[in-house]
Chain A
């Protein structure tokens, strides 16, 4: 498929738009990473190597709050686990041999999977996956560098930037409100976390909140989302 084909153009436009939006999140991450005591190099290495926004933000939040190494890793990896599910989704749609798949794995995130599954044509699905993944990788890393360089120069609390991360998460949570199970998992996860904060070490309550996924064990009934809105989640989370 040629990238000049008319039906490819909207896919490429959307992938670049998503990349720019994610780049703004990356600035927030870069600021957060250096205010949590990281160096500019560490902030950039996280985005280049981990490349999973929610995990990176959560690790930085735990460290900034004085949490331990174990709780930072545990919380971040619990969030990274869903990329396995996206990988399962994409493995049925991507062609290519092992080296290609190993490369594709690094950009298997919310947005690339969402953009791919939003297409019906198999070839267009692959174009959407690679275009979105590469666009977000570029802008996520550029934004991180900008944020990390700026972060050491400003006091984040003065501008309310300590609230920027929960506000960013609010935005990507909204698509999950569309299913009953999503709403139950959110309410239970938040309640479990708040109820255990006074009694457990920092970072552990977030791990406990993952128990809320057990609401999905019973056989589903009429739990159908209104529409596929995963594309609106604008963080490589």
Chain B
């Protein structure tokens, strides 16, 4: 974690926000491009969930985190509030880790 990283991300994130709101403004984009951009959260966040659940560094690994995230998926599917999803997921991970360790 460095200040260079913090400031680079700050500049980059703000540039994206300004680009949409101020630079492009009302001008239309190609429809296919807009459809693709709308899927960025789904594709990238799903990848992060998979990585954070099933890998450590460059190794694939199944451990207590899979139990926690599975419980979180069930909680989200049952339309539990987001805070409940996080707490039961983290708690399950912690408990399974204690029992297994």
Which of B14, B36, B95 has a CB less than 8 Å from the CB of A216?
Answer: B36
Contacts of B21 in A (CB 8 A): 87-88, 90-91, 94, 101, 104-105, 108
B73 and A160 within 8 A (CB) = no
A176 and B8 within 8 A (CB) = no
A237 and B22 within 8 A (CB) = no
B20 and A85 within 8 A (CB) = yes
B85 and A190 within 8 A (CB) = no
Which of B18, B55, B86 has a CB less than 8 Å from the CB of A171?
Answer: B86
A3-11, A52-60, A119-127: which lies at the interface? A52-60
Contacts of A33 in B (CB 8 A): 1
Which of A51, A61, A160 has a CB less than 8 Å from the CB of B13?
Answer: A51
Main secondary structure of the interface of A (DSSP, over half): helix
A167 and B36 within 8 A (CB) = no
Interface mask (A140-169 → B, CB under 8 Å = 1, otherwise 0): 000000000000000001111111111111
B100 at the interface (CB under 8 A from A): no
B12 and A173 within 8 A (CB) = no
Contacts of B34 in A (CB 8 A): 85, 88
A160 and B86 within 8 A (CB) = no
Contacts of B97 in A (CB 8 A): 157, 160
Which of A76, A98, A189, A197 has a CB less than 8 Å from the CB of B9?
Answer: A76
Interface mask (B38-76 → A, CB under 8 Å = 1, otherwise 0): 111111111111111111111110001100110011001
Number of A interface residues in the complex (CB < 8 A):
108
A102 at the interface (CB under 8 A from B): yes
> With A and B bound together, what is the CA distance between A36 and B51 in angstroms?
17
> With A and B bound together, what is the CA distance between A52 and B17 in angstroms?
10
B69 and A216 within 8 A (CB) = no
A73 at the interface (CB under 8 A from B): yes
B48 and A61 within 8 A (CB) = yes
> With A and B bound together, what is the CA distance between A69 and B1 in angstroms?
9
A136 at the interface (CB under 8 A from B): no
> With A and B bound together, what is the CA distance between A60 and B51 in angstroms?
14
Contacts of A80 in B (CB 8 A): 9, 12-13, 16-17
Please name 30 pairs of A and B residues whose Cβ atoms are closer than 8 Å in the assembled complex, sorted by A. A45-B3, A54-B44, A56-B9, A58-B44, A65-B56, A78-B40, A79-B44, A80-B13, A82-B41, A84-B24, A85-B38, A87-B19, A88-B21, A88-B24, A106-B14, A108-B17, A159-B90, A160-B95, A160-B97, A166-B69, A167-B69, A170-B89, A171-B76, A174-B76, A185-B42, A186-B42, A212-B47, A213-B36, A213-B39, A216-B32
Identify the 3 closest CB pairs spanning chains A and B, nearest first: A87-B20, A160-B93, A167-B89
